[in-house]
Structure 1
Amino acid sequence: MTGRTDAVRTPRGALVGVDPANPLAGLVVFQYNPDEMTRRLVARTPEGDEGAGGARSEALRLTGAPIETISLAVEVDATDQLADADPEAVLLGIHPQLAALEMLLYPKSSVVLENMALTAVGTIELVPTEAPLTLLVWGAGRVLPVRLTSFSITEQAYDTQLNPIRARADLELRVLSYSDLSVTSPGHHLFLAHQIAKETMATLSARSAAGRAVTGGIGGVFR
């Protein structure tokens, strides 16, 4: 999935499903970088500290990194590939790109078949399948472990074989922090590095604001 042709070439965002057994199956490079992204952060606090009845000693306590959700829309369009007679686009339209997104929500069929076989021989307890670790790559400075929680696909055009050739996918992502992942997960350490980078940037911002306050008075901070 890729970006509009801009005067300055920018890197493309991507979702990467880290699956050593099939590394390409979970790679979704955005064809067009979204024009906007909505991020929502909710403080992670002890139970009962919100509203009446919460213990005063817990009012400022944090139990972990905030719960962050990200909403964005990506576009997929096979027009250029069809104009170039790309064999895959001619045969399948954008089915492969949409399938790569959808596979981030599916358990592996091999695991489903294995569980079916275990059920057939009387195994009572089956371990739920784990999705591969998924990373949102949005420039070198933002590589986040995420879980794709839901998305909707709006197919907007079709070829003569009814293959979709243009679509928009609205994605809902939940960022996974060290509060969600085991210390043995690479995502645990990726998020910790992300937080440390944020702390560094926040310090730079505070120094800049302090400098403006000294040189221009308090009003200078808000200019």
Structure 2
Amino acid sequence: MIVPIPNIIIFQYNPESLSRTIEPYQLPDSKAAGPDKAVTTAPTTTQPKPPVEKFTLTLQLDASDALEVPDLHPVAVVSGVADRLAALEMLLYAEDSKGLGFSLSLPVGGSLSPAGTPEAAAQAQPVPKGKSPTILFVWGPGRIVPVRINTFNVDEQLCNPMLYPLRAKVSLGMQVLTDDDFGSTPDTIEKLAGACYKFTMTQKRVLALANVANDVESILGLLPI
């Protein structure tokens, strides 16, 4: 079995802060439903889906340390931090069957063929949709979750003579994925990502139980007995 080689991107510096938002499931607004839409009668306590969790952080990339020892970092001498930026950016592109990160298939020859020919038939075939790579966001041993990058902003602050950035600030917005996001037939990597999500949720439940134990101990300490 061929095991895909993961693209591991290590943070050069730990971000100073990590922002999180958790959006609970919202029931459809029955008042806004049109005549062709079913009006929901579910109680307001219904929670059919887990809340949507999102992360926002800023990465600082700097080639200064590498440029102090140019013999050991020839890539940094030529491209600065462009290689690290490229690795991050490739997380936004769809993968193809060859694992090149992205693909573009356009049957130019078929578009010039007359109707009824094999070329025209090939043109009529639906173009396969790309699939985004499976990304695991690792923030310590207590948080390893699959994510999808929703926002990606880069501020290139200093460039070398070839105009490759030597410093850059990357702002990332990510959404945590659950088992439902991988469909009914996940591949091996997606199953691993799902297992990581469940592992993180188990740790969260254990911490919540530990908090209950602390609360009970605090309450008992307040009793006059």
TM-score normalized by the length of structure 2: 0.77
Deviation at 1:20, TM superposition (A): 4.8
SS in 2 for 1:162: coil
Q: Are 1:47 and 2:28 an aligned pair?
A: yes
On the 8 A contact 1:65/1:178 being kept in 2, the answer is no
**Match of 2:25, as an amino acid?**
R
**Match of 2:87, as an amino acid?**
A
Tell me how far apart the structure 2 counterparts of residues 200 and 49 of structure 1 sit (CA, whole Å): 37
Q: Are 1:106 and 2:93 an aligned pair?
A: yes
1:175 equivalent in structure 2: 176
Deviation at 1:118, TM superposition (A): 9.0
SS in 2 for 1:213: helix
Tell me how far apart the structure 1 counterparts of residues 30 and 140 of structure 2 sit (CA, whole Å): 37
Moved more, 208-217 or 181-190: 181-190
Q: Provide structure 1 residue ranges, at least 5 long, that are not aligned to the other structure.
A: 1-18, 218-223
1:61 equivalent in structure 2: 46
- The RMSD of aligned alpha carbons is 2.7
**Match of 1:112, as an amino acid?**
S
Q: Are 1:126 and 2:132 an aligned pair?
A: no
Question: 5 Å matches for 1:5-44?
Answer: 20-23=3-6, 26-44=7-25
More strand by share: 1
1:220 equivalent in structure 2: none
Moved more, 26-35 or 97-106: 26-35
Q: Are 1:164 and 2:162 an aligned pair?
A: no
| Identical-pair percentage | 26
Tell me how far apart the structure 1 counterparts of residues 156 and 214 of structure 2 sit (CA, whole Å): 47
Q: Are 1:206 and 2:212 an aligned pair?
A: yes
Moved more, 204-213 or 190-199: 190-199
1:152–1:20 CA distance, 2 compared to 1 (3 A): farther
1:147 equivalent in structure 2: 148
Residues 102-145 of structure 1 show CA distances to partners (whole Å, capped at 9, x for unaligned) of 000112476624x3249844143122110111000111111100
Q: Are 1:191 and 2:178 an aligned pair?
A: no
SS in 1 for 2:182: coil
Tell me how far apart the structure 1 counterparts of residues 5 and 170 of structure 2 sit (CA, whole Å): 23
Residues 65-112 of structure 1 show CA distances to partners (whole Å, capped at 9, x for unaligned) of 110111000010000101111211111111100000000011247662
Q: How many residues of Structure 1 are paired with residues of Structure 2 in the alignment?
A: 195
**Match of 1:210, as an amino acid?**
V
Q: Provide structure 2 residue ranges, at least 5 long, that are not aligned to the other structure.
A: 33-38, 111-121
**Match of 2:147, as an amino acid?**
V
Tell me how far apart the structure 2 counterparts of residues 28 and 96 of structure 1 sit (CA, whole Å): 11
1:94 equivalent in structure 2: 81
Deviation at 1:208, TM superposition (A): 0.4
Deviation at 1:29, TM superposition (A): 0.8
Deviation at 1:50, TM superposition (A): 10
Q: Are 1:79 and 2:79 an aligned pair?
A: no
SS in 2 for 1:104: helix
Residues 131-163 of structure 1 show CA distances to partners (whole Å, capped at 9, x for unaligned) of 111000111111100001121000011122221
SS in 2 for 1:144: strand
Tell me how far apart the structure 1 counterparts of residues 145 and 109 of structure 2 sit (CA, whole Å): 36
On the 8 A contact 2:93/2:133 being kept in 1, the answer is no
